[in-house]
Amino acid sequence: MTSPFTPIENPSLFCRFCSKIVPAQLDRGIAENGKTIDKKSTFEYSCSKCFKTSCYCGKDLLEINGEDETDETRTYSPREHYFIGEEIFHKTFDENGLVVGKENGSNGKILVHFEKAGLKKLIQDI
């Protein structure tokens, strides 16, 4: 049984068209073949600057009022899975960063924005 899923509505996302981090807006969730919208659904976000949309899977998005949600900031490890909108701590950079995007490909990569270190691509799900 799948439970309904409500992802974050106004994340900061890296827009590949604007090449910068912009406020984004959740447009809609797309369910597969009449199924209810859940964590496996695709969600469309539009850039507040250029209005182009990007799609993300629910499993890559932070949930509003998620049960697993804690106030603890996780320390980055390439073995773990991170969510867009999540704040993580990176030991090497010694600062917190915000997950602002995902790169699709064989290896999952996350885009993380650090105040001092800038935008970094980090590996996840090893």
The footprint of Zn ion (CB under 5 A) covers 15, 17-18, 47, 49-50
Residue 13 CB, nearest approach to Zn ion (Å): 9
20/91 Cα distance (integer angstroms): 24
114/46 Cα distance (integer angstroms): 23
Q: Please say which residue, 22 or 112, places its beta carbon nearer to Zn ion.
A: 22
Residue 117 CB, nearest approach to Zn ion (Å): 23
Compute how many other C-beta atoms are within 10 angstroms of the C-beta atom of residue 80.
Answer: 12
Residue 64 CB, nearest approach to Zn ion (Å): 23
For the chain, what percentages of helix, strand and coil (3-state, to nearest 5) are there? 0, 45, 50
CB 13 within 8 A of CB 21: yes
Q: Please say which residue, 17 or 40, places its beta carbon nearer to Zn ion.
A: 17
Q: Please name which of 4, 2, 3, 6 lies closest in space to residue 63, comparing C-alpha atoms.
A: 6
Q: Please say which residue, 43 or 76, places its beta carbon nearer to Zn ion.
A: 43
Q: Please say which residue, 17 or 115, places its beta carbon nearer to Zn ion.
A: 17
Residue 9 CB, nearest approach to Zn ion (Å): 17
Q: Residue 24, class by beta-carbon neighbours within 10 Å (0-12 exposed, 13-18 middle, 19+ buried)? A: buried
